[in-house]
Amino acid sequence: MPEMDVALKDAMQIDGAIGVALVDYTSGMALGIAGGTKEFDLSVAAAGNTDVVRSKLRAMEMLGIREGIEDMLITLENQYHLIRPLKGRQGEGLFLYLALLKSRANLAMARHQLKRIESSLDV
């Protein structure tokens, strides 16, 4: 999937990017990964964050919330973790997961850039 590879490379250009993955939250499998470190295994992080997405979707369903999720933010002491479920028929069941170093990232710009990358992604 050349479009996916380009999108992941673009996401790695976001200031502070540690790693990015395109994830299928029905299976927990990462369809594509860029970046990461020995200490930060993106495959494990992607699989773990499928539980976050599933839990939020279940909670929204129980509450009767019919809005779509734009993104989810997990703030750690030194990192931001952005989860952006893909919109549209082709992106159903997928999300972009981006980990950023807090000291180097501009959260507003990162969210804006990830939204732009999502809109150009064709899966």
Share of the chain residues as helix, strand and coil, in percent rounded to the nearest 5:
40, 30, 35
Global pTM?
Answer: 0.92
What is the predicted pLDDT for the residue at 120? 83
Interval 34-81: pLDDT, tens: 998 888 999 999 999 999 999 999 999 999 999 999 999 999 999 999
Contacts by 19-22 with C-beta closer than 8 Å and gap 24+?
19/45, 19/98, 19/99, 20/96, 20/97, 20/98, 20/99, 21/45, 21/46, 21/96, 21/97, 22/94, 22/95, 22/96, 22/97, 22/121, 22/123
Average pLDDT over residues 19-24: 96
Say whether pLDDT at 115 is over 60. Answer: yes
Task: Tell whether the model's pLDDT for residue 121 goes beyond 90.
Answer: no
